[in-house]
A and B are shown apart, each in its own frame.
Chain A
Amino acid sequence: MKKLTHKLAVSTALVSSLILGAVNVQAQPTAEVLHYWTSGGEAKAVKALKEDFEANGGKWLDAPVAGGGGDAQAAVLRSRVLSGNPPAAVQIKGPNIQEWAEAGALGDLTKLGEQEGWDNVLPPLLQDIVKHDGKYVAVPVNIHRVDWIWVNPEALAKVDGEPPRTWDEFNALADKLQAAGIIPLAHGGQPWQDATVFETVALGLGGAEFFNKAFVELDADTLKSDTMIKVFDQMRKMRGYVDADFPGRDWNLATSMVMRGEAAMQIMGDWAKGEFIAAGKEPGKDFLCIPTPSKGGYILNSDSFAMFNVTNDDDKAGQELLARLILGEKFQETFNLYKGSIPARMGVSAEKFDECAVKSMVDLQASSEAGSLVGSVAHEIAASGAVRGAVLDVVTEHFNSNMTSEAAVARLAESIELAE
């Protein structure tokens, strides 16, 4: 019924504009969408959103910018905003949303949010990310979990190993694997991958409170604390569990090492699942997904669309329609099935999702209630680009040299101070 009225509205608008020339009788929701999802499952996921938007009478102006994990897009966005002609919706995430909102570039979706009851369906941590000064300025599309270990069960069976529940168990298991001639940890030596491992260790050894104090509040004493020294000690151990050829390796090549059984485990976010699925592997049978040891913690990464200030009525209607669709249950389900992540809102049926995704949903809810849910540092949710970069520099330098843990924490505190 709703669809029909929309269709009617569109055709009336079309006919009347034909008759009356340029006079616009009714606004057609229009949205120019700037994004960097240009390949594979991501492209399919965006297409699903576009089709949904058009089926609801909207006019979608696609503005994809490929490359560099969003670097190229950021340059385009900057020049568009500076020239006073921002796109309606832009794929940006984490503290970038806050920075654009502080620059006064973002619109306000609070009214729509109240109508749709977003406060009740979004986890509080996610609300903090997409709200500025209590106003909704962006909508989240998905949630990726970062703190996963992807395990090859056959490799584990060779040493009679159990999935580890503490970092001590992890080390014991890794030693056994190494003795059996299996690479314990498949890893790619790129700064963001080093930092991905680092943050799971930091959450595991320090807990959520420590994690937030260090990387969100940037408290110097916490950054230099004994706990942080222990985190770096564990990183030094991890360095011994990777093979010699790891520098520069891409994450998906590390994933295929686990698939082939050359390596037993990889610590990586749930986009790694896509690699297993694409190779025809089944979760629970050919590979296991277990959370990194952290007493019920959860490290979250989330993509979102920020809505920029637009003046035109068509664009405003377009933004509202887009925001409503993005947080709708239907889109959340289709999109995240394509992308390998889980819905950003609660209450979406888990029926079609695989067991890793279902586990992620259950853990998300539990950790959100227990207060052990944190934003990712390596994936630019908890910290701004500058702070994230400072953490990456130190973690990767420590991982790739003989730096002591004491020197590393001192350097960490110093770099973060310089980055602010």
Chain B
Amino acid sequence: MTQKSIPAKQPLLDWLRRNVAKLVVAPTFALMIFFVYGFIAWTGYISLTKSKMLPSYSFEGFYQYIRLWKMTPWNVAMENLLIFGGLFILVSIVLGCLLAIALDQRVRAEGVLRTIYLYPMAISFIITGTAWKWILNPGLGIQNTVRSWGWESFSFDWLINSEMAVYTLVIAAVWQSSGFVMALFLAALRGVDSEIIKAAYLDGASLSRIYLVIILPTLRPVFLSCFFILTHLAVKSFDLVVALTGGGPGYSTILPANFMYEMTFRRNQIGLGAASAIMMLATVMAIVIPYLYSELREKKHD
């Protein structure tokens, strides 16, 4: 069929040939318009109403947003997002990058090490959370073990300390994601032209200088991809909190997604839940839009 050239007399086939790509994409596109953008619009509208148990459609302006920002739990959730998100992204990237550089030194058993570092990524946050809950529990995990070795005054009780509990989320999330960041960096490092590195060696540059001045700057796109992947992971984090701390002690470790779930599904406050969901969307947008803008502008320069 494909070997024969299709005569122009067959307009249908011709049309199909030109449009087959569009046709294949169309259903997905239509579904996405409806289920993603359609529901974003619906949520946006609901956030402007006084919907409680059932959605209502009478417009009430920004009532829910004013209420939302007056609520202490929401402010705690946003603060936590800032602390958790900031540290999670920073530590994951730094740690992932260092691991990748270490593995890039042609160490023995690199394959095995790479797999070990990458494996946590294959585990769901629920499992990660549960495992770390046991490890960090003062009565069962690290604290108990160290004390049983004889260091009686050792104390590591972050999990049950409302000031420190949010950092346990960072520990678990970094453990899970830094291997993934490492894999991205490692792939990029392998793509760096070895001629440049050899040339730098001949010029007498030290290894650390080669990495800092020559290699890392060429990895800028990888930094950016990591940043965006980790950002959206941070903003939509929900299951890790549920499994690791349950939002506690008190509600000191809730994140915006937990707040949204609690309001919408437990407290019959659909309007308020929608407002918090829109605020989460706005957080992501605030980060993604400048990025898209700069990317698109750069293309024009080319």
B-binding residues in A (CB < 8 A): 71, 74-75, 78, 81-82, 96, 99-100, 103, 189-191, 244-248, 384-386, 388-389, 393, 396-397, 399-401, 411, 415, 418-419
Contacts and interface: CB of A to CB of B under 8 A. Distances in A.
Contact of B53 (A71, A103, A189, A396): A103
Given A75-B265, A103-B53, A393 B73 contact: yes
B44 interface: no
Contacts of B251: 191, 393, 396-397
A246 B138 CA distance: 10
B249 A247 contact: yes
A389 B157 contact: no
Contact of A74 (B70, B71, B265): B265
B266 interface: yes
B176 interface: no
Contact of B72 (A384, A388, A399, A415): A415
A71 B248 contact: no
Main secondary structure of the interface of A (DSSP, over half): helix
Contact of A411 (B72, B266, B267, B269): B72
Contacts of A248: 133, 159-160, 245-246, 248-249
Given A245-B138, A245-B160, A399 B250 contact: yes
Contact of A418 (B70, B157, B247): B70
A190 B246 contact: yes
Interface of B: 52-54, 67, 70-73, 133, 137-139, 157, 159-160, 162, 245-252, 262-263, 265-269
A245 B139 contact: yes
Contact of A247 (B70, B71, B160): B160
18 contacts: A71-B266, A78-B54, A99-B52, A99-B53, A100-B53, A103-B54, A191-B251, A244-B157, A245-B137, A389-B262, A389-B263, A389-B267, A393-B72, A396-B250, A396-B251, A397-B251, A400-B248, A401-B250
Instruction: List the 7 shortest-distance A-B pairs measured between CB atoms, nearest first.
Output: A400-B250, A400-B249, A247-B160, A247-B249, A385-B267, A396-B250, A389-B267
A96 B266 CA distance: 11
B252 to A, nearest CB: 7
B250 A385 contact: no
A418 B71 contact: yes
Contacts of B246: 190, 248
A82 B54 contact: yes
B138 A99 contact: no
B248 A386 contact: no
Most buried by B among A71, A81, A189, A397: A397
A411 to B, nearest CB: 7
